[in-house]
Amino acid sequence: MAKSRNGTDIQFAIIGSAGDGTIAAGDIMKRAAALMGYKVIAFDIYPPEIRGFGKCISRIRISSQQTYSLKHKSDVLISLNDSHAIAHVGEVRDFGAVLFEDSPIAAIPEGGHISAHIAAAQVPYGFANRRICEEATGKARSRNIVALGYAAGLFDIPAEIFHEIIAQKFAKKPQAVTDDNIRAFDAGFAAGKATFKLDDVRVGMPQQVANGKDAVMMTGNGAVARGFLEAGIDTYFGYPITPATSIMERLAAALPRAGGRFLQTEDEIAAISATLGAGYAGARAATATSGPGLALMTEMMGLGVMAEVPFVVVVSQRGGPSTGLPTKTEQSDLNLAVFGGSGDARRIVLAPTNVEGCYRCAGMAFEIAEKYQTPVIVLIDLYLSNRFETVIPPRENVFAPKPRIKPELPENQPYRRFALTDDGISPRALPGDEGHMHTVTGLEHNELGRPSDALHQQMNAKRHDKLTSATRYPGLTTCKRFGDEGRVKVGILGWGSTFGEILETMYAAQDEGISCAAMKVVMLSPLPEERINEFFDDCDHILVPELNHEGQFANLVSGALGRPVVRLNRTTGAPMMVDEILAEVRRLAQTGIGEGTHSPVQQQGATT
């Protein structure tokens, strides 16, 4: 069934320079919309320069129904700095609105004002932002808040909602700061309300306010930190790296208050080593990093596999290789997450597709690591790390507590830490447990843990086979199908943050009469092959869009199943565009079974 498109679905883009308050304005906008009861997805783009200059963009999609990605075309652009915003005027849809300062205080060179670049089909709204701000507050510092007020008045968004969010935003500042910003907002609101409206954008209050007070705006990184805390994390060791740093920052503040331990280490190798040690000692232990950090951690990941120690590593991908693109998103660390390390070092890899999934995967990762006595990687990316979504958290803790760890000893038998069992899971004891002395080493070992190569084949099989049942772990969505049931023309297979754009594409294809389904795969290792095979059986064509050059997920799936896929690969540093995926779905829908295995728009020519 196609998705209903009725109701509000508006996307704002606020663009300015660092120091203009662009991100702060976007934050107030998205939190106000969430409080009103709207579904919100937002993503902020910061300049790569450390020195505090460059372009900032805050995009906020506000919808009365559940949405899954940002739109390629915004409905409203608010310019706080024309030199940065001009390049993005073309990203405003036809009959969309462009809001800008129309009373500059200095001469502007020809072509330097945004009004010269607005298309005939777009609706311009010029207003005296600086003058309004100075008259209301005596200074020009709150121009971003005036612009918010103008937009709220123009598009009929209640001012009281913004008052509440502004008061929260500046609660730790002197009261005069809050008062000034509310005056700035109200002055902008009055100007917007008095403007004759020409475009077709409407916001207002949603017809049905659903849990607005219960909704929480969270980023993927914030959701990871919350999942860790609610799952009872004991220790966190970390080293700063974009885009994972905010996980560490949140836990640095919250974990000690919750009775846990936090330590910033000297580098990534120390972080993973300490995490492994804490996991061995029985703690729920975690660290977080990005691709360059994970590359440094691979040796200790291998030790965790060999020693069968549970711990959790969050990896937020960015553009690579090497230092790469620290402030741009990519999905190119899949190979490293699944295969990185010496020897056969199979581990569990989870890749949530939205912010709520980050919360659930982070918390459940501890349970899974403990059950299967193995490292677990939670693989996200910059887009998901920094993306805001409205989430209604569960009212009660949904994660299992840490289990008791002290196996019974067979009578007159030594403790066999690495005993070969039917399910491959050995009895785990903690160091120091009476009667459970054992050896742990990175060398291959026997059942007692003592170095020996006699059982290498059996131990390799044990470490791999014990993870097979993880694809059926209770309560974890390892993969899920959406869209049309039964036989379809095009199936879209995806993972990670790109799945939001995939879902939007699927609904758009259905609206055009194309039989289409989508499947998200959350567990990348071990791969839920049986379910994915069933999806392949129902589809004439399988399309795999992903943000890397090689088609790493396509390689993983086609290698495991031996079945052809069509690849759509992008490494632009930005999220995948729905229009690009939809164009490929249309092309495939017009081809016969077995045709169209080469995509004319993919970056590399080879397909599987």
- The confidence score (pLDDT) of residue 7 equals 78
575: DSSP letter: P
| Digit-coded pLDDT (tens) for 12-48 | 999 999 899 999 999 999 999 999 989 999 999 887 6
Say if CB 431 and CB 281 are below 8 A apart.
yes
The highest-level CATH class for domain 217-391 is alpha beta
Whether the Cβ atoms of residue 45 and residue 56 lie closer than 8 Å to each other = yes
Q: Which architecture does CATH list for 479-589?
A: 3-Layer(aba) Sandwich (3.40)
Residue 409 burial (CB < 10 Å; 0-12/13-18/19+)?
middle
Question: Quick check: 604 and 551 in contact, CB under 8 A?
Answer: yes
For the chain, residues classed under CATH 3.40.50.970 are 217-391
| pLDDT for 51 | 54
Closest by Cα among 581, 572, 515 to 549: 572
The model's confidence at residue 6, banded by pLDDT at 50, 70 and 90, is low
Give tens-digit pLDDT for 445-494: 999 999 999 999 999 999 999 999 999 999 999 999 999 999 999 999 99
Residues 6+ apart with CB under 8 A from 205: 36, 37, 158
Query: Boundaries of CATH 3.40.920.10 in the chain?
Result: 9-193
CATH tag for 9-193 (out of 3.30.470.20, 1.10.10.10, 3.40.920.10, 3.40.50.10140): 3.40.920.10
End-to-end CA distance of the chain: 31
Integer Cα distance of 378 and 455 in angstroms: 31
Q: What confidence tens digit (pLDDT) does each residue in 412-449 have?
A: 789 999 999 999 999 999 998 888 888 999 999 999 99
Dump pLDDT digits (tens) for 334-382.
999 999 999 999 999 999 999 999 999 999 999 999 999 999 999 999 9
Do 43 and 59 touch, CB atoms closer than 8 A?
Answer: yes
Question: What's the Cα-to-Cα distance from 294 to each of 128, 349, 419, rounded to whole Å?
Answer: 50, 13, 30
What mean pLDDT do residues 153-179 have?
A: 95
The strand pairing partners of 74, in sequence order, are 92
Q: What is the CA radius of gyration of the chain?
A: 26
| 586-594, Cβ contacts within 8 angstroms, sequence gap of 24 or more | 586/509, 586/512, 586/514, 588/489, 588/490, 588/540, 588/541, 588/543, 589/489, 589/490, 589/509, 589/514, 589/516, 591/541, 592/540, 593/540, 593/541
User: What's the average model confidence in pLDDT over 253-267?
Assistant: 97
Residues of each domain in the chain carrying CATH 3.40.50.920: 479-589
Please state whether the predicted TM-score (pTM) of the whole model is above 0.75. yes
